[in-house]
Amino acid sequence: MNQQIICSGCGIPVQTKDSDNPGYAPKAALERDVIVCQRCYRLTHYNEVPDVPLTDKDFDKLLDDVSKSDALVVMIVDLFDVEGSWMMKRKDLNHLPLVIVGNKFDLLPHSVNENKIKLWLKKEAMKRGYKPEKIDLMSANKKADVMRIAAMIDQVRNGKDVYIIGSANVGKSTFINQIIRAFDGDEDQLITTSIYPGTTLAFIDLPLDDGSKMYDTPGIINPNQMYRSIPQKEMKLLQPKREIKPIVFQLKEEQTLFIGSLARFDFVSGEANHFVCYFPEKFTPHRTKLSQADDLYARHKGETILSPPSKEALEEVPPLKAETFTIAHDKTDIVIPGLGWVTVGHKGAVVTVHAPENIKVTLREAII
């Protein structure tokens, strides 16, 4: 190979010598009009679980290139997992203009107020030190939404290059593929997408009309996300497929809600209260008495009423750690990043939350 060839699916240089290393493709693949590495080919056609060679340090090095540029940064945030979506904060990116786009708006119940979500997202961003010039919402699966966001980005960028950044699975590559379909129409040029983190391995550039470029960037799993705690083959369970339907429980103190075998909410004390559950469709909450919860979990974890994930997958899940919260405000969300949240109706409730030990459980003002 005299000239470096880049995989159009994940952005990594293609090589034909070592099938165990990223970028490998058999020599015959180099005869195709659009060249992808073997990893992307198998991921696309066979839905194989990929390796994830990209580390946080690797991504930090990639961000060095962004910091040296004069570009617009577009951060995509998963509205179903906002807490798990925030990127690492780097002071050397503060000089670059920033747009924040909340994706997967279609997963939230139709009753939510769009303007309220935008204001809430802006407040959460500023709380973390971000200063966005614009905030908007979309569903990357809807062409009309993507075209509206693309037009907004084109107006804000003022001729600059654009870097699309975000944590794993927030929808960056899906968003860019919609743009490719709309303006290019060549399905062979689409970027590889999947439910698995680590699909994009390097910057992938999309030429813009004025000579600038839009870059898709690799997504790194936030250390606080549930993706860190569950085997890759079970990750699809964490991805809602349709609008989340809230499930309401009226609880008395000393009752427990299990969310599969990945989380548990103990209503330790307080007046009768309502708990509204927002989780992917595979996770149906199960109610029991607090006095029976430990025994129930020991006997049935990974099975029927306390699944998913499977009992086999649970062997790779870190042990659950308990943390107790006193709810200080009416309508408070208890959030487990990457899994979902429970809204507690009234203040005064004391709730102990059990989640994998690496997960940072948080409280927030209810967004619904």
Reading the chain (368 residues) residue by residue, the pLDDT tens digits are 456 787 766 677 888 888 777 777 888 777 777 777 777 766 665 555 555 545 556 667 777 778 888 899 999 999 999 988 887 666 667 889 999 999 999 999 888 899 999 999 999 999 988 999 999 999 998 999 999 999 999 999 999 999 988 887 888 888 888 887 777 655 445 544 444 455 554 567 777 888 888 888 776 766 677 877 787 777 778 888 889 999 999 999 999 999 999 999 999 999 999 999 999 999 999 999 999 999 999 999 999 899 999 999 898 899 999 999 999 999 999 999 989 999 999 999 999 999 999 899 999 999 88
Round to whole Å and give the CA distance between 94 and 86.
Answer: 15
**Contact residues for 211 (Cβ-Cβ < 8 A; gap 6+):** none
What are the residue ranges of helices labelled H in the chain? 38-46, 56-67, 82-85, 114-127, 143-157, 172-183, 290-300, 311-314
- Answer whether 338's CB lies under 8 Å from 234's CB: no
244 DSSP assignment: P
Instruction: At 327, list the tokens.
Output: 């709810």
Residue 139 has a pLDDT of 94
Q: What is the CA angle 6-87-140, rounded to 5?
A: 65
The percent of the chain in helix, strand and coil, each rounded to the nearest 5, is 30, 25, 45
Sign of CA dihedral 171, 174, 189, 21: positive
- Answer whether 281's CB lies under 8 Å from 260's CB: no
Residue 63 has a pLDDT of 74
- Answer whether 38's CB lies under 8 Å from 25's CB: yes
* Residues shown for the chain: 368
Residue 194 has a pLDDT of 44
Instruction: Tell me the CA distances in angstroms from 240 to 1, 31, 258, 327, one per residue in order.
Output: 43, 39, 18, 27
- Answer whether 76's CB lies under 8 Å from 88's CB: no
What is residue 308's three-state secondary structure?
coil
Residue 195 has a pLDDT of 46
What's the pTM value of the predicted model, to 2 decimals?
0.79
235-256 burial code (b ≥16 CB/10 A, e <16)? bebbbbeeebeeeebebeeebb
- Answer whether 137's CB lies under 8 Å from 113's CB: no
Round to whole Å and give the CA distance between 212 and 203.
Answer: 14
**Phi, psi at 226, each rounded to 5°:** -65, -25
Would you tell me how many other CB atoms lie within 10 Å of the CB of residue 70? 10
Instruction: At 272, list the tokens.
Output: 């009768």
Round to whole Å and give the CA distance between 71 and 96.
Answer: 6
Round to whole Å and give the CA distance between 77 and 169.
Answer: 9
Q: Residue for token digits 């290059």?
A: 161
Q: Residue for token digits 């593929």?
A: 177
Would you tell me how many other CB atoms lie within 10 Å of the CB of residue 350? 14
Cα 179 from chain centroid (whole Å):
20
